[in-house]
Amino acid sequence: IASPYYVRRGGFNRIRAWLAGFLIPRADCVRVVSERIRKSIFHKKIAVLPIFSEIKKDFQKKDFPGYDFVILMVSRLTREKNISLALAAMREVIKEYPRFLLVIVGEGPERKKLEREVLDGLEANVRFEGRQPDLSGYYQSADCLLLTSDYEGYGLVAIEAIGNGLPVVMTEVGMAEEIIKNGENGIIVPVGDKTRLAESLLRLKREESFRRSLSEGARKTKLPYASFEEYRDKLINSWKTCRA
């Protein structure tokens, strides 16, 4: 709600931001999912509790014949996810590497609009997979995860990606610089920056050693929780902190 991009998305978001400004100071305590959100609001009692996600290791790899670099997006197809930015970056990337493929997993109200955008020269380089019950095979088959949101509270798919050893290229939202570290397990670019986004994707293709180092960094990243039990204990502790 503190992101300037949030309030630009329409009247409902402005109302929500106003309500947050009214309610948060009156709350006994506040629980948020990331340090970015904690730093954006003022309250004397704030608990940071990241979202829990079980990282699945059982998978059947997906096959994308005819392509030598696969970019994965897992997202609701909504305006704030700014998937049009990813398509704009792809137009730049395929000028140099025509065998790049962008795989988009997810559904939402923007799908028809995005499919029309793809018809303008990206038909061979973008694939819509719809909603999928199991994502582990996609994570294991891609070369990187792409997240282009204008704002995020957290960004769970990025956590799932690095949990599968997949480098992340993302805008500076959610847990960027908190868990996704620039140059260590991913690349972070400014929100809305098509040029930097395209350059980052091209660098992953050109510099194989860099891409491997990011993959290794992803595998070594300490995730927020080792188990559901650890999440449960921290959740209960956040309630206790609130009551103290």
Overall size of the chain counted in residues: 244
Q: What is the pLDDT of residue 57?
A: 65
Average pLDDT along the chain, 244 residues, taken 10 residues at a time: 76 85 89 88 86 77 90 96 97 96 97 95 95 90 96 91 94 93 96 96 96 96 91 89 73
How big is the CA angle at 96 (ends 90 and 97), to the nearest 5 degrees?
Answer: 70
Residues in contact with 236: Cβ distance below 8 Å, sequence separation at least 6, in sequence order: none
Q: Residue 16 — φ and ψ, nearest 5°?
A: -60, -40
Handedness of CA 205, 206, 209, 214 (dihedral sign): negative
Q: Residue 37 — φ and ψ, nearest 5°?
A: -70, -40
Q: Residue 222 — φ and ψ, nearest 5°?
A: -80, 115
Q: Say whether 240 sits in a helix, a strand or coil.
A: helix
Q: What is the pLDDT of residue 210?
A: 97
Handedness of CA 12, 17, 19, 20 (dihedral sign): positive
Q: Is 139 exposed, middle or buried (0-12, 13-18, 19+ CB in 10 A)?
A: buried
Q: What is the pLDDT of residue 15?
A: 87
Query: Which amino acid is located at 31 in the chain?
Result: R
Q: What is the pLDDT of residue 103?
A: 98
First-last CA distance in the chain: 27
Mean pLDDT value across the chain: 91
Q: What is the pLDDT of residue 55?
A: 81
Q: Which pTM value belongs to this model? A: 0.90
* pLDDT tens-digit readout, 115-153: 999 998 999 999 999 999 888 889 989 999 999 999 998
* Alpha-carbon gap, residue 195 to 158, rounded angstroms: 21
Neighbours of 5 (CB within 10 A): 16
**Residue pair 155/170 in contact by the 8 Å Cβ criterion:** yes
* pLDDT tens-digit readout, 36-65: 888 888 888 888 899 998 887 666 778 899
Per-residue tokens: 219? 């595998």
